[in-house]
């Protein structure tokens, strides 16, 4: 077995960077060339069709059959010109990735001749027999199929020779089976709620978009080493491996010069992203060795999520060309930083205003504070729901880790804004305010620096931080589809804004003026939400105690945390607003419990196999060598000398033997626990059993394996070690 490890290492030593061919050194020459965007529509569609479709897209409606026919003709012409032979409805099922089933344009026409066809009907709707996707019981496999429908707000694009149509995925009875359908609903909800509130400040606002910039962290591992680690191949993370003597202690990788092979990988995947209209902008080395980050310029949320899903796919494919594997797991290596996906989120109007960016005068700043406070309120009231939206098996290894955002959701605003909110909370009175009082308040508000960005003291330990003109939700995992978090955030903020409008109108109807009413409601919200604001070190022990006192949610258990989707408060945000039905919500939770159970189950199997098939035999081999050595010593030396010489070796034999016995015993016990858990019917209880009874064995078994790694002859150790995985490239 050790041969595989050493031949892998030799392979890596001989690698050269792969040359990258870009279509042009000027990115704008080819940016978006594989996307059927509006300019291409203008070119390929008739004037009439172009106008109709543009209108439909802008209004966020769906196409009629006739409109679809018009669009399909243009799309087909473009796609065939680009060399496409197939088309697929591309969707986001409730697994971690995306899904596609390709069909050819090919059809048999008259005279048995092959013709290329692509109709409006197949553009807008398709019925893949996608019955094996998780649905949480909504759809039995023998029952109705699901169908996919084009989301016109996301343009079609070509990957290779396949035309991809971004779609939602719903059951025949109309229930959402994917991430996109509910995400789109929350965007409409937030638009409506935010426009209503904007009307207090600016009558020209008719549309509010949420914006999202996703920072994507990832690890790169050489392909040869990857294949020598079955745990990486099957469970996406290393399940054993002693810490490397040096890893990230010196922070010498962070922002360091990018290694050559990695650089050519980055250039290559960036080039592929540009062709698909993904505006990747930032790249750098991250903290852990072999860890990196990329970030695009922010876009409208739905597009940003599609682009992130597509980007991960591109990265995986391009990595293979460079003989790398990209790891999106949140914690592929124990003891060093894990990977997240910071969600930079804000809201923007059709008038070009970022609602979370302070403006130039008291009016725009009051609008800014209104939206800021409503987000704070939404996070406070739904901190457990937000937590549920990012909690899953793989992210649980990261959240609350020494470098990752704590498992407690709190909001960081920076000292300037904190003081501002304090002022409002204390200066606004419920009685009618005097003109002098109002002027004073407005003066203060007018003074908020236009660019808070540079004035915001950054706090890297906060899971939900205000960073000058947006919030950064940092608890989202690196492998996640960001829709999960965005559905909850959008819905929670929409719900808060709707309530805000009601509360303000009540006061206005009592005869107070608008500004005063807004101030009073803001004051109330600030006082109510105080507990969620935290400026200190989110990693500290004190914060855990303090957060408990404040009644903030800090649930360690994954299933329990996911269960918070089902509280009355969560249902109010997600169900009462019409984003999900009770049935849809419950089925999603069911899917999450099952995913958790299955992932732990896979890890337990992988670890069990590796422990018994790789590690125990290696330990025994080395023990046998030691025993032979001891026997040899006995033959060669006198009894007295033998005792002196053999002592340490005998101790080693005992230690190795003890570890081997422990591994065998623990693996057996773990299997027994799995058997018990597997017969539990209720998915929540089953997930809990996997978490409490099975999962603890993973660490216990690993402990003994990692100890053996330190003792056993390096020459026969079968798996690439941490120092090799992290430092060889």
459 near ligand ADP (CB under 6 A)? no
- Answer whether 75's CB lies under 8 Å from 118's CB: yes
Rounded CA-CA distance 232/607 in Å is 11
Cα 335–chain centre separation:
21
Considering only residues 189, 215, 306, 586, which one is a binding residue for ligand ADP as defined by CB under 6 A? 215
Closer by beta carbon to ligand ADP, 51 or else 460: 460
For the window 277-296, what string marks contact with ligand ADP as x by the rule CB under 6 A?
Answer: -----x------------xx
Closer by beta carbon to Mg ion, 215 or else 223: 215
Closer by beta carbon to Mg ion, 322 or else 342: 342
CA atoms within 13 A on the CB side of 292: 22
345 near ligand ADP (CB under 6 A)? yes
Instruction: Please give the C-alpha separations between residue 681 and each of 94, 558, 696, 721, in angstroms, as whole numbers.
Output: 21, 18, 21, 40
The least CB distance from residue 686 to ligand ADP, in Å, is 39
Candidate ranges 11-19, 339-347, 436-444, 673-681; the one touching ligand ADP (CB under 6 A): 339-347
Considering only residues 180, 253, 470, 523, which one is a binding residue for ligand ADP as defined by CB under 6 A? 470
Candidate ranges 9-17, 340-348, 416-424, 680-688; the one touching ligand ADP (CB under 6 A): 340-348
- C-alpha angle with apex 554: 670 to 393, nearest 5 degrees? 40
Considering only residues 154, 171, 211, 308, which one is a binding residue for ligand ADP as defined by CB under 6 A? 211
Q: Taking Cα atoms as reference points, which of 531, 584, 571, 317 lies closest to residue 408?
A: 531
Binder of residue 213, out of Mg ion, ligand ADP, none (CB less than 5 to 8 A by kind): ligand ADP
Closer by beta carbon to ligand ADP, 343 or else 495: 343
Q: Taking Cα atoms as reference points, which of 77, 346, 374 lies closest to residue 200?
A: 374
CB-count burial class (<10 Å; 0-12, 13-18, 19+) for 213: buried
Closer by beta carbon to Mg ion, 185 or else 341: 341
Q: Per 3-state DSSP, what percentage of the chain is helix, strand, and coil (rounded to 5)?
A: 55, 15, 35
Strand partners, 410: none
The least CB distance from residue 287 to ligand ADP, in Å, is 12
The least CB distance from residue 217 to Mg ion, in Å, is 9
Instruction: Please give the C-alpha separations between residue 705 and each of 166, 619, 662, 697, in angstroms, as whole numbers.
Output: 46, 9, 10, 12
Instruction: Please give the C-alpha separations between residue 187 and each of 40, 347, 381, in angstroms, as whole numbers.
Output: 26, 10, 20
Strand partners, 466: 471
Closer by beta carbon to ligand ADP, 349 or else 392: 349
* Nearest residue (beta carbon) to ligand ADP: 213
- Answer whether 476's CB lies under 8 Å from 340's CB: yes
Binder of residue 211, out of Mg ion, ligand ADP, none (CB less than 5 to 8 A by kind): ligand ADP
Q: Is 172 helix (H, G, I), strand (E, B) or coil?
A: coil
Token pair for 331: 């914690």
469 near ligand ADP (CB under 6 A)? yes
- Binding to ligand ADP in span 637-656, by CB under 6 A: none
**Residues in binding contact with ligand ADP, number by CB under 6 A:** 15
Other C-beta atoms within 10 Å of 729: how many?
A: 18
Closer by beta carbon to ligand ADP, 344 or else 396: 344
Binder of residue 297, out of Mg ion, ligand ADP, none (CB less than 5 to 8 A by kind): ligand ADP
Binder of residue 496, out of Mg ion, ligand ADP, none (CB less than 5 to 8 A by kind): none
Q: Taking Cα atoms as reference points, which of 684, 399, 398 lies closest to residue 566?
A: 684
Rounded CA-CA distance 569/497 in Å is 16
Closer by beta carbon to Mg ion, 155 or else 213: 213
Summarize as ranges the residues that interact with Mg ion (CB under 5 A).
Answer: 215
Rounded CA-CA distance 73/45 in Å is 8
Binder of residue 354, out of Mg ion, ligand ADP, none (CB less than 5 to 8 A by kind): ligand ADP
496 near ligand ADP (CB under 6 A)? no
Closer by beta carbon to ligand ADP, 63 or else 262: 262
SS (H, E, C) 667-714: HHHHHHHHHHHHCCCCHHHHHHHHHHHHHHHHHHHHHHHHHHHHHCCH
CB-count burial class (<10 Å; 0-12, 13-18, 19+) for 183: buried
**Run of H or E including 218:** strand 208-222
Candidate ranges 183-191, 205-213, 633-641, 705-713; the one touching ligand ADP (CB under 6 A): 205-213
Rounded CA-CA distance 30/25 in Å is 9
Binder of residue 588, out of ligand ADP, Mg ion, none (CB less than 5 to 8 A by kind): none
213 near ligand ADP (CB under 6 A)? yes
476 near ligand ADP (CB under 6 A)? no
The least CB distance from residue 465 to Mg ion, in Å, is 12
The least CB distance from residue 704 to Mg ion, in Å, is 38
Binder of residue 464, out of Mg ion, ligand ADP, none (CB less than 5 to 8 A by kind): none
Considering only residues 73, 291, 344, 483, which one is a binding residue for ligand ADP as defined by CB under 6 A? 344
Q: Taking Cα atoms as reference points, which of 286, 296, 272 lies closest to residue 332?
A: 286
The least CB distance from residue 19 to ligand ADP, in Å, is 28
Closer by beta carbon to Mg ion, 215 or else 709: 215
The least CB distance from residue 241 to Mg ion, in Å, is 27
The least CB distance from residue 168 to ligand ADP, in Å, is 23
Q: Taking Cα atoms as reference points, which of 480, 485, 533 lies closest to residue 387?
A: 485
Binder of residue 469, out of ligand ADP, Mg ion, none (CB less than 5 to 8 A by kind): ligand ADP
- C-alpha angle with apex 654: 651 to 657, nearest 5 degrees? 150
Considering only residues 200, 218, 269, 298, which one is a binding residue for ligand ADP as defined by CB under 6 A? 298
Considering only residues 52, 123, 212, 278, which one is a binding residue for ligand ADP as defined by CB under 6 A? 212
451 near ligand ADP (CB under 6 A)? no
Q: Taking Cα atoms as reference points, which of 367, 339, 581, 346 lies closest to residue 486?
A: 346
Ramachandran angles phi, psi of 338, nearest 5°: -100, -175
The least CB distance from residue 373 to ligand ADP, in Å, is 18
Residue ranges in contact with ligand ADP by CB under 6 A: 211-213, 215, 282, 295-298, 344-346, 354, 469-470
């Amino acid at each position: 077995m050790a041969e595989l490890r050493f031949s892998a290492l030799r392979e890596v030593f001989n690698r050269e960077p792969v040359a990258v061919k870009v279509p042009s050194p000027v990115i704008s020459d080819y940016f978006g060339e594989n996307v059927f965007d509006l300019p291409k529509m203008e070119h390929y569609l008739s004037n009439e069709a172009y106008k109709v479709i543009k209108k439909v897209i802008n209004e966020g409606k769906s196409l009629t059959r006739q409109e679809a026919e018009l669009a399909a003709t243009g799309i087909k012409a473009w796609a065939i010109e680009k060399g496409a032979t197939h088309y697929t409805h591309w969707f986001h099922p409730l697994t971690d990735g995306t899904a596609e089933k390709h069909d050819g344009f090919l059809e048999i026409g008259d005279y048995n001749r092959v013709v290329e066809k692509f109709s409006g009907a197949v553009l807008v709707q398709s019925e893949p027999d996608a019955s094996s996707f998780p649905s949480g019981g909504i759809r039995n496999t023998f029952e109705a199929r699901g169908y996919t429908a084009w989301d016109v707000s996301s343009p079609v694009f070509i990957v290779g020779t396949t035309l991809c149509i971004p779609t939602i995925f719903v059951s025949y009875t109309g229930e959402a089976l994917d991430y996109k359908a509910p995400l789109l609903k929350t965007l409409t909800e937030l638009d409506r709620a935010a426009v209503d509130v904007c009307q207090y400040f600016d009558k020209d606002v008719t549309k509010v978009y949420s914006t999202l910039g996703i920072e994507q962290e990832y690890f790169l591992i050489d392909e040869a080493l990857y294949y020598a680690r079955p745990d990486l191949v099957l469970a996406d993370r290393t399940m054993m491996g002693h810490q490397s003597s040096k890893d990230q202690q010196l922070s010498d990788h962070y922002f360091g010069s990018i290694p050559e092979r990695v650089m050519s990988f980055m250039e290559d995947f960036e080039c592929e992203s540009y062709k698909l209209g993904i505006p990747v902008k930032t790249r750098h080395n991250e903290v852990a060795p072999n860890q990196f980050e990329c970030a695009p310029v922010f876009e409208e949320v739905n597009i940003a999520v599609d682009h992130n899903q597509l980007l991960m796919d591109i990265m995986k494919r391009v990595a293979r060309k460079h003989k790398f594997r990209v790891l999106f797991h949140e914690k592929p290596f124990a003891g060093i930083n894990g990977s997240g996906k910071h969600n930079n989120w804000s809201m923007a109007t059709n008038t070009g205003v970022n609602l979370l960016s302070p403006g130039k005068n008291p009016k725009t700043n009051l609008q800014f504070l209104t939206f800021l406070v409503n987000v704070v309120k939404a996070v406070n009231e739904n901190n457990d729901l937000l937590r549920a939206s990012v909690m899953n098996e793989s992210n649980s290894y990261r959240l609350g880790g020494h470098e990752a955002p704590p498992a407690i959701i709190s909001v960081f605003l920076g000292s300037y804004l904190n003081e501002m909110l304090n002022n409002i909370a204390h200066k606004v009175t419920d009685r009618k305010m005097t003109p002098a009082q109002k002027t004073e308040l407005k003066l203060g508000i007018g003074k908020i620096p236009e660019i808070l960005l540079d004035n915001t003291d950054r706090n890297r330990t906060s899971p939900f931080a205000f960073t000058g003109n947006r919030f950064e939700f940092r608890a989202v995992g690196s492998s996640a589809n960001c829709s999960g978090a965005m559905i909850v955030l959008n819905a929670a903020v929409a719900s808060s804004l709707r309530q805000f409008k009601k509360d303000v109108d009540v006061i206005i109807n009592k005869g107070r003026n608008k500004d005063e009413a807004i101030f009073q409601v803001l004051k109330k919200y600030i006082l109510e939400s105080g507990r969620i604001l935290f400026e200190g070190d989110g990693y500290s022990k004190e914060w855990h105690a303090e957060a408990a006192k404040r009644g903030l949610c800090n649930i360690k258990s994954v299933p329990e945390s996911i269960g918070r989707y089902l509280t009355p408060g969560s249902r109010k945000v997600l169900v009462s607003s019409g984003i999900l039905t009770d049935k849809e919500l419950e089925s999603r939770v069911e899917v999450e419990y099952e995913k958790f159970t299955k992932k732990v189950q896979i890890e337990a199997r992988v670890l069990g196999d590796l422990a018994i098939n790789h590690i125990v035999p290696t330990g025994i081999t080395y023990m046998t060598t030691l025993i032979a050595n001891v026997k040899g010593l006995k033959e060669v030396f006198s009894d007295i000398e033998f005792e002196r010489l053999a002592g340490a070796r005998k101790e080693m034999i005992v230690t190795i033997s003890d570890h081997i016995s422990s591994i065998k015993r623990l693996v057996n016990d773990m299997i027994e626990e799995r058997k018990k858990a597997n017969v539990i019917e209720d998915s929540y209880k089953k997930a809990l059993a996997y978490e409490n009874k099975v999962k603890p064995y993973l660490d216990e078994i690993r402990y003994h394996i990692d100890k053996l790694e330190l003792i056993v002859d390096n020459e026969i150790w079968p798996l690439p070690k941490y120092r090799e995985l992290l430092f060889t490239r």
